[in-house]
Structure 1
Amino acid sequence: MENLIANYQSDSDQEEENQIKQNIQEKKDAIVAAPAVDVEEISSWKHLIPKGTKEITHNIPYKDLVKPFVGPANPFNPEANENGLENKNTPAGYFEKHSISDFNFTEQQRTFQNFKYALNPNDITGTEYIGNVEKALNANGETIFNKKKADKTAKKKKRKQMGNPSDIDNYLGPWAGYEGETIGELHGATEEELKAYEESKEGSKEKKAKTDEGPSERTIFHGKSMYDYQGRTYMHVPQDIGIDLNGEPGNNECFIPKKLIHTWSGHTKAVNAIRFFPGSGHLLLSCSMDSKVKLWDVYNNRQCLRTYLGHTKGVRDICFTNDGRKFITASFDKYLKIWDTETGQCISKFTNHKTPYCVRFNPDEDKQNIFLTGCSDKKIYQYDINSGEIVQEYNQHLGAVNTITFVDNNRRFVTTSDDKTLRVWEYDIPVVIKYIAEPSMHAIPSVSVHPNGKYIACQSMDNQVQVYSVKDKFRMNYKKRFTGHLVAGFSCQVNFSPDGHFLMSGDSEGKMFFWDWKTCKLYKKFKAHNAAVVGCEWHPHETSKVATCSWDGLIKYWD
């Protein structure tokens, strides 16, 4: 009974046992991918150099040094490759070894660079070419050095015969020249060539005259009617607004503005400068990088009254005459144009083919036909409108001229430049009477005169406003410095209130700053624009109204 129980097993156990035997058999019959190698006994290995040897009595070949004791041969061994060739495939590409001198390599390299052909380095015979083979065969394979030598030989001229000394008229002696020379013979253009040259010269003059005419000018009036019921234009100063606009500026005490009361948004690009109408301030003139000049109404509906079109590039600066009947514009298209404020007609235009950066009329009543402009060629030009010519040049600066400011009852004027200097000139005399330059000075892009005429405030590129005295001695007032704003890299205008109590300036972050003139204390600052505020003007009669312009293309009016 026990034997029967011991021999008893189920069919599933039998199948499992058979499966295990089958797996064992498969493992025994597995394929081995490693190559068959004859393994020697370690005891049979022989060292090429016996242990303890201090000297080698013979040279051991490299192939013996790299020969393996066990395993396959080195596949990179030259003798192991087919036909005894080396392996040419490398991680960097394909290479072949050639023995060539530095001179021959340089010769073939420069020949290929200049003539587009060279000898094939794989050719042993030296007759096969690569590159432009046809050109190489036509040139007989001349290299860059052989070519130069052949050209030098070909260009060598032969000397003329000295002649017989007995023939005095024809004897040249050691002064004999070379064949083909024409020394001593008359030369010049033929009559036909001279005629063609004169015609081309006249054509170029006509073309230049057409170019000097510049672009055509036109104007657009935006109002409903040019004249009111009494036949008056917008040049008439309004009398019914409760403010005496014909009075003397600076009689009333000024206050710092607090809120925005109007925004003019007619320009499409950055506004470079704004100017109130002289005396009354009932109009506002602006110039922009969109090449347009616009006249705005400060009172009534505060609309755009007229647009002046005539420049092909942005307008950099503008300036009114004393009566406001005319104004001048300076543009990056290298033209200066004088306009009639009322009709919009372009009266005259000037150009010296240099970019004008600033322009100012002479403030004297008897010199309203004279204006000065500072240009990119480091000069200040003085123009006479009546003759249309340059009557004086002031040439002392070492950089582009940024500002022109009349001082001392208009007998002198101050100029600043990118050369980080300040120079004072006598009017109509091109000699510097005062030169101010210090190592700590920076470029001055804007200058404004104090209402009392004794000081000028200069916007410096080191983020401060410096003050200079303009009476008797021109010197810096070190006690007056106005700081707190950021203007580095921007030509932000600085200006005074009409009563002279406040100094104001914009900065590169779109803020407006107001300082007290006596104490240099910062009274107020506020966010005015979304871009750099480059211009600010205090109304000559309104005690707390300020106009600002910015690179965001807007002009804002504050009260």
Structure 2
Amino acid sequence: MSSMSANKKGSVIFSGFRALGLYSNHLAHVVRFHKKHREFYVVTAVGQCFHTYNVKKLGIVAVSNALPEDISSVTADCMLVYAAYGKLISAFARSREVVHTYTGHQADVHLLLPFGNHLISVDKDNVVIIWDVESEDTYLQISYDKASFEVSALMHPSTYLNKILFGSSQGSLQLWNIKSNKLLFTFSGWSAAVTVLQQTPAVDVVGVGLASGQIIIHNIKFDETLMKFQQDWGPITALSFRTDGHPIMASGSPIGHIGLWDLEEKKLVSQMRDAHTTAIAGLTFLQNEPLLITNGADNAIRVWIFDVAGGDGRLLRQRMGHSAPPTKIRHYDQSGLNILSAGQDGTLQSFSTVHERFNKSLGHGTLNKAKAKKKGVKYDTAKLPSITTFASETARQSDWDGIIACHRGFLMTTSWNYQKGSMGAHKLEPERFNRNRSLNVHATAVDISSCGNFAVIALSSGHIDVYNMQSGLHRGHYGEDKAHEGPVRGVAVDALNQLTFSVGADHLLKIWKFKSKEHLHTHRLPAAPASSLLHRDSGMLAIALDVFAIHILDVETRRIVRKFSGHRGQINDMTFSPDGRWLITASMDCTIRTWDLPSGSLVDCFLVEAAAVSVSLSPTGNFLASSHVDGLGVYLWSNNTLCSLVSLRPLPADYEPTVIMLPGNCPSKDTEEEEVLDSDSSEMAEYISPAQLDEHLVTLSLLPDSRWKNLLHLDIIKKKNKPKEPPKVPKAAPFFIPTIPGLVPQFSLPNTPSEAQSKVVNLGVLAQKSNFYIELENAIESNSYEEPVKLLRELGPSAIETELRALSPDMGGDVGVMKSFLKMISCILKSKKDFDLAQAYLALFLKLHLRLISDEPELMEEAERVSAQLEETWMCIQTLLNQSICLLSYIKSALL
């Protein structure tokens, strides 16, 4: 990717790859059956695209192309998936590509229903449009008075030809024949808004869910209510009926509970409490199977199985992400395949970059694990608030806990075990605050030593404590009483457990001996630090300041070696590249910037729609992971520098980045043709090395050594390659077209048939001039030697020797052409290009024709000119080499 086209897209280094941990939003899912595969699929909307999963394993099988806006409604028939966004509706084929777009609504569309070859849509202005799917034309349009009948639900009653049942916010229902455009019947309703209309397994009978929490089983043929149920958890959000022989109806509620109702005994038989932590968006019983699929805005899809008679549904499988935005993400181990993510929902989760089946949730923090397991997370009174920051180390993960986490507003820090996938054994809390619990002190920063034995925990009171990760015992603290006078904003331990670094709100950076806790060095910062990050391998400590600047401390020299400024908002997070050359920072100004430490410059910057709150570059350097404000997913960006040549140049101080979209759930395919930018464009172009860097330097050819290095040793090579026995002629040699010798094979076709058939040797053909000879002759008048040099570059060593021998008068040449050859060498030397070729050609020419040159004054005069020019060029090069060697020697001595 060229820098020009990359900058047009926003980033030179990173391009959107995929999103992790996104499964569902507040829209109801759609279940489809594939006749050929004999398999059920579930479709869920996620932002601007929708995902398709197989029900068998809940594995993702397709992700749609992104739409310009968030999807407001999704539905499907046996062929297409329909998604409404804004005032438009798109139809997708193969669950991926848009094949139809329906335009005509004047307000946002919020209800969709496929109906044979037609699609019915309802917008916020209460306009109903019936579309012809293939032609995209409007078949029928119905306008309701919003005050008397605001459409809130619609369905097609089974076996009712051309008829649609509409439910309203006023509570009444209307049955329409959409072919004849006639209102057939109006049902008076039940004094509450209709939220759901669902066909029951019985013909003529529909289930009506109301905003009052009532469920009405109504016969629309005779306008007769068969039974009523009352749900105590608020409005009905979804309804579904079992079709596998059990007369069970499931109803969804806004608080995440599911009610199971027996239609024969007309009573509530079971409750599935906390099926989701948010409202039940959709629930569907699979046809003739004891399986219930549910989804909700808590970013979860769950499949429940009813394998016990009269019992609750048992969770069979699920796909679950964060139900609230992640606050901190970090790659877990050196493989870069797992990303730990702490969310505002209080959970710590691990997302795999390989496959969703490797995802796992480490659960919700709690003070009493046994009690929480018994009561459930929702009713756990001792649950901990969300994790603000954490540190992990894999060195001793098989022996004891390898993750330590700080909780919002909590003094206590908790340990977690990745392999067990749960909270760990320790809750670390210093004893100094036991007497006065009223103090508002909380843990602010944490780090684990590279050996995995020690955890260093910093507090808002200025204290820094050390604990043993195996036993959880306190192993000392830094400073006589406090390490800092204000809250500690960052703490880090070096790779060999020699030093500990801490930064505090008192504007101080302090360096301590890790083991003895002795204070070694203090550095005053120009502003209060917000956070710090140590790259252990390179010994670089990055400190983000409250004035939106970044300072880099070299641990060895204990000096600030780099200062970066340019962010216009609070710096949320930082991450180093594996080799320590790049520092990637995310800020509230919605930019993600890449700083190059060796050059001390900004080399990449791009804008995202929502500010990144956390970033982490994988230990292998192939993916950058980011989490964003109000976003539930973890987004991966691929590093283009690993697989293509990317030229990085410092960006100007006034560089204005462009916004790029967050990646979808599958690798993005960029099919758009790149625009050709004018040469006068101010965009940064890809650096292309010119043919000549500097007029004082010489440039070598890019030809292989074998093409020019062996020119002076051809006689020795020929002697070594001489066959011991003459080659034997085969009895019946196959027919071959003769070729002209050279690196580029060319067939030597006879000019006329008579010449090809003639067995008499034609001496005129042998004395024919070569192309190179002709070009040298032409160059005597034109004084342009580009063509003969080009021809020589294409020839092999043997062919070059033949051409140079043929220049002498003894071989049919001419003294004037030999003089032209020397002028060609002089021309190459003047241009200072192909310097190695000029030396090799001149050496071979002198070896072949030295006696003739000495006898011809004309040639001798030209040879002297070439010699003088050659000596001048060598002197210039020698001077440059001496200067460079002198400078290198000086730098070397200064370093030693």
Question: TM-score under structure 2 normalisation?
Answer: 0.29
Question: Which of 1 and 2 has higher RCO (CA within 8 Å, sep 6+)?
Answer: 1
Question: TM-score under structure 1 normalisation?
Answer: 0.45
Tell which structure's C-alpha radius of gyration is larger. 1
Which has a greater percent of strand? 2
